[in-house]
A and B are shown apart, each in its own frame.
Chain A
Amino acid sequence: MADLKINFAGIKSPNPFWLASAPPSNSGAQVHKAFEAGWGGAVWKTIGAPVLNVSNRYGAWHYGGQKMLGINNVELISDRPLDVNLREIREVKRAWPDRAVIASAMVESKPGAWHEIIKKIEDTGADGIELNYGCPHGMSERGMGSAVGQVPEYCEQITRWVMDVAKIPVIVKLTPNIANIVLPARAAVAAGASALSLINTLNSIVGVDLETLQITPNIGGKGGHGGYAGPAVKPIALHMLAALGTDATVADAKLPISGMGGITTWQDAAEFLLLGASSLQVCTAVMHYGFRIVEDLCDGLSNWMDEKGFATVGDVVGKSLTRVSDFKNFDLSFRAVARIDQQKCIRCDLCYVACNDTAHQCIDLIAKDGTVVQPRSYDVRSNGKEDAIETRPRVEVREHDCVGCRLCYNVCPVEGCISMVELPPERASVTWDQLTQKQREITEDWKKMQEYREKMGIHIH
């Protein structure tokens, strides 16, 4: 059995799964229930400045029969009185000494306000503090949340105020609503933060009601951008996580990173770990299915770790970071082509239309007699399942024309039917960076590029 325990900047928890600071961690009763279900920790819903909320605060994006691939919200930080939250944080921590209880905070950008909230939190016995520099709606209009996270100087300044007084670990939570996620992370590092977490929600408008022409969700005849989260944002979160891990300044500081953004399954969790997260936060999946999902998050992750020979979570963290690179370093001589397993193929022809309409036109329809045929080449009088199945041509890749774009692989609905097969390179390995350094003219002049291609036998049709 893999050991799922973590020690995150001194914050210990029996597994890496924490409730993210959000509606699921809004009260002591909820966090109690979550801990009973097995959650390793909880980042309390942000406490701080006084607020009032509105109805119709959650919108969602559904697709292909799947509900809530994305959720957006205009809910503010906790609207429960500050002293109630502080009391419940204290009670929960006392009842669950082995779990991580972290209080998320957001107050006005004044040193006094921050000093006061930090002291109040520490007084509860919480294990850590997360600074909410991320909320993109409402609070940001008041100069808090993402209004701070989007300006590295503000991040650094406020983090310094906090670090002046904080005695327990401080996690700086970053907003993804920024062109370069690395800059606020460096600011947090410079200010001496204990850890980082990302991502908060993305600016979004989830939709428009085609019946009423109202913005979805309709808040008394108005609507606007809210924070977007859920499975749909996972790739964005993974990129930002990797961007921190591959930035020299941030990486050298060796701050642990708590990863979040669309984690729904243990596979998602493992991917976040591999790209450098050492604790994991979950919100949307819990809001969709309840606290019970933590069981398979732990169970699946543990089984996978056993299978892969990882004894501890620490063994997994960052394992794939070394493979993250930039285009300029990719081997231009690397070759792969698509190959279709005819035994597995169900002849939906989705690869055919994708390749021929939108990619590189290298998949053919081959009739029984071996000839290439066009779609819909059957006689209008032909019908019935036998005709349709028996005369259906097979799809085949013309490998010498295949550029290995991988579109067919992505659209194929059958697991393991299309594989990208690596071929031996036809040329010596070279990267764009190397070309730029050694033969700059090729990278700047189309004529030179053509000559180079001729010489190297690169034919693109």
Chain B
Amino acid sequence: MSHEAEHRGQREGLQELLPPLTTNEAALEAARCLMCYDAPCTHACPTHIDIPKFITKIHSANLKGSARTILESNLLGATCARVCPVQQLCEGACVLGSEHKPIAIGRLQRHAMDYAYGKNIQIFQPAAVTDRKIAVIGAGPAGLSCAGELAKRGHSVTLFERRDLGGGLSTYGIIVLREPVDIALAEVKMIEKLGVKIETGRDLGVNLSPDDLRKNFDAIFLSVGLGRTPSLGIPGEDHILDGLDYIEQSKLDTPRVRVGHEVVVIGAGNTAIDCATIAKRLGAERVTMVYRRSENEMTAYPHEYDFIKREGVGFYFLAQPGRVLVENGEVFALECARVSLGTKDASGRPSPQVIPGSEFRIAADQVIKAIGQQKPAVAAELGLKTTKGFISVDLHFETSVPGIYAGGDCIRARGAASTVMAVQDGKLAAQTIHERLTAHG
């Protein structure tokens, strides 16, 4: 391990927020589970993990069986245990939620996954090899899930990753408070041990030719995610940091993260909250989030919003950034204008309208933007049909080009993008690819 790797995410304030459950805590929590039949938590989980089953196995101290139960439905169970918006999913559907406290499903799942990874237990082994070859583009959650599911079925899978490390957003984009880098990388290694060949530094259209892929593979799965943060188109934008870079540095180049005294984060989604969290935790005196719509329209999960308020972060709602004010090369403020909300726009949300003459300044020596991500560029290069810029797929995750499948954030035209949805896309696409490639063989 390099010196740098040793310091990944290791910095006071950034440690994983929730401590692991002790064996006793896990046993007591597991005992509280009613063991619902056809359980609503399992329905609510996008990957439909048999939750009562894995909790029963924690209760009976069969942690290996518990881990297997989780991984059978979701190969990235360790990541999902940490990053899933459980309040919206399994725990939100728990029958104990109405009167009591829902079961801490996420933390129990983490307990089982920590056991398996802590003991280096490789739950699944590579199957007997078939002669089918599949290329998976992008080693994020959707790609890892698809590659792993196909490898479990004995297919020869090559996973091409543009960057140096696999894991996608789990490695690069989820703050350490929620998921340490090691967890994401352990999952990549587990997928590799299933027989998946991972080639990093391979960028589609740059040093990876679509024609070669089509020639050499029986099927292609695109899990390329989304692009960089789009431009705001305001003066001084050069001085605004990209939120994704900010988070990435906090994870992989932690000692070198520089945090301002007065930090302004533009945006009010989950990534924006992550940026504000880093700034606050690494010592910023004041962190303010600026959003051009109101509290009601923000895309962050309610529990994330609650969290960041408790962190002491301030908010400017109904404020549209106008320009970054710079003196001697140093940022000193963000100028915003007040807006009012008008009629609904294409996104179905009321469109912000600038109130003339309402400009005001927010003192800032660091401005970060986290206002979503650009649509996948590969769609056009490969001639794939798109929906609102996202790659269009049918019910079986096949794109408009036969033999090319896609899943994860790059197809998420509807609904909130999340790791667990990406894992399910990859799993379902793998099922289809497997069925189709073996139907005639």
* Chains A and B bind each other: yes
Which residues of A are interface residues toward B (Cβ below 8 A)?
Answer: 64-66, 346-350, 352-353, 375-376, 378, 380-385, 387-389, 391-392, 413
Bound-complex Cα distance A65 to B31 (A):
6
A341 to chain B, nearest CB (A): 14
**0/1 interface trace, chain B 355-368, chain A, CB 8 Å (1 if under):** 00000000000000
Q: Could you name 23 residue pairs across A and B whose Cβ atoms are closer than 8 Å?
A: A64-B59, A65-B27, A346-B96, A346-B98, A347-B95, A348-B34, A349-B37, A349-B38, A349-B39, A350-B34, A375-B37, A380-B48, A381-B395, A381-B428, A383-B43, A383-B48, A383-B424, A384-B46, A384-B89, A388-B43, A389-B40, A389-B93, A391-B43
- Within the assembled complex, what's the spacing in Å between the Cα atoms of A134 and B250? 70
Q: How far is the CA of A278 from the CA of B89 in the complex (A)?
A: 55
Most buried by B among A378, A383, A391: A383
Q: Is there a chain A Cβ closer than 8 Å to B331's Cβ?
A: no
Q: A352-B37, A353-B37 are in contact. Are A385 and B92 (CB under 8 A)?
A: yes
| Contact indicator B95/A348 (Cβ below 8 Å) | yes
Nearest-neighbor residue (CB-CB) of B96 within chain A = A346
The answer, among A346, A349, A350, A383, for a CB contact under 8 Å with B45, is A383
Which residues does chain A contribute within 8 Å of B48, judged by CB atoms?
Answer: 380, 383
**Interchain nearest-CB distance for B15 vs A (Å):** 29
Closest to A374 in B: B38
Q: How far apart are the CA atoms of A384 and B31 in the complex, in Å?
A: 24
User: How far apart are the CA atoms of A391 and B93 in the complex, in Å?
Assistant: 11
Residues of B near A413 (CB, < 8 A) are 34
> Would you call B28 an interface residue if the criterion is a C-beta within 8 Å of the partner chain's C-beta atoms?
yes
**Residue B32 lies at the interface, judged by CB distance under 8 Å to chain A:** yes
Residue ID in chain B nearest A66 by CB atoms: B31
> Shortest distance in angstroms between B93's beta carbon and chain A's nearest beta carbon?
4
CB neighbours (8 Å) of B43 from chain A are 378, 382-383, 387-388, 391-392
Set of chain A residues within 8 Å of B89, measured between Cβ atoms: 383-385
Closest B residue, CB atoms, query A346: B95
Considering only CB atoms, which chain A residue lies closest to B95 in the complex? A346
Given known A-B contacts A353-B37, A375-B38, A384 and B44 have beta carbons under 8 A apart: yes
B277: min CB distance to chain A, Å: 25
Those of B33-75 within 8 Å (CB) of chain A = 34-41, 43-46, 48, 59
Are B31 and A392 interface neighbours, CB within 8 A?
no
Task: Determine whether B88 belongs to the interface, using a CB cutoff of 8 Å to chain A.
Answer: yes
Partner of B93, one of A65, A381, A388: A388
Contact-residue size bin, chain B (C-beta under 8 Å from the other chain): 20 to 34
B44 touches A349 (CB 8 A): no
Q: Does B44 lie within 8 Å of A387, measured CB to CB? A: yes
B→A interface (CB under 8 Å): 27-28, 30-32, 34-41, 43-46, 48, 59, 87-89, 92-93, 95-96, 98-99, 395, 421, 424, 428
Within the assembled complex, what's the spacing in Å between the Cα atoms of A162 and B75? Answer: 73
Q: Is the CB of A65 within 8 A of B32?
A: yes
Q: Is the CB of A348 within 8 A of B36?
A: yes
| Of the residues B28, B32, B36, B44, contact of A350 by C-beta under 8 Å | B36
Q: Is the CB of A385 within 8 A of B428?
A: no
A385 near B88 with CB under 8 A, answer yes
Which residues of A have CB within 8 Å of B40? 347, 385, 388-389, 392
- The complex places the Cα of A118 from the Cα of B95 at a distance, in Å, of 61
Within the complex, the shortest CB–CB distance from B41 to chain A, in Å, comes to 7
Least CB distance, B417 to chain A, in whole angstroms:
14
Q: Which residues of B contact A384 (CB under 8 A)?
A: 44, 46, 88-89, 92
Nearest B residue to A395 via CB reads B37
Closest to B40 in A: A388
Write the nearest CB–CB distance from B56 to chain A, whole angstroms.
11
Greatest chain B CB density within 10 A among A382, A385, A387 is at A385
The CA-CA distance from A173 to B245 in the complex, in Å, is 79
When the two chains form their complex, are residues B38 and A380 in contact, meaning their CB atoms are under 8 A apart? no
User: Given the complex of chains A and B, what is the CA–CA distance between A302 and B133 in angstroms?
Assistant: 77
Distance in angstroms between the alpha carbons of A380 and B395 in the assembled complex? 11
How many whole Å from A93's CB to the nearest CB in chain B? 44
User: In whole angstroms, what is the CA distance A384 to B424 when docked?
Assistant: 13
Besides A353-B37, A388-B40, A389-B44, 7 new A-B residue pairs in contact (Cβ under 8 A), listed by A number: A65-B30, A346-B98, A353-B38, A384-B88, A385-B44, A392-B40, A413-B34
Contact of B37 among A350, A381, A387, A388 (CB under 8 A): A350
Q: Which of B32, B40, B41, B59 has the most CB of A within 10 A?
A: B40
Please, which residues of chain B bring their CB within 8 A of the CB of A64? 31, 59
How many Å lie between the Cα of A385 and that of B96 in the bound state?
13
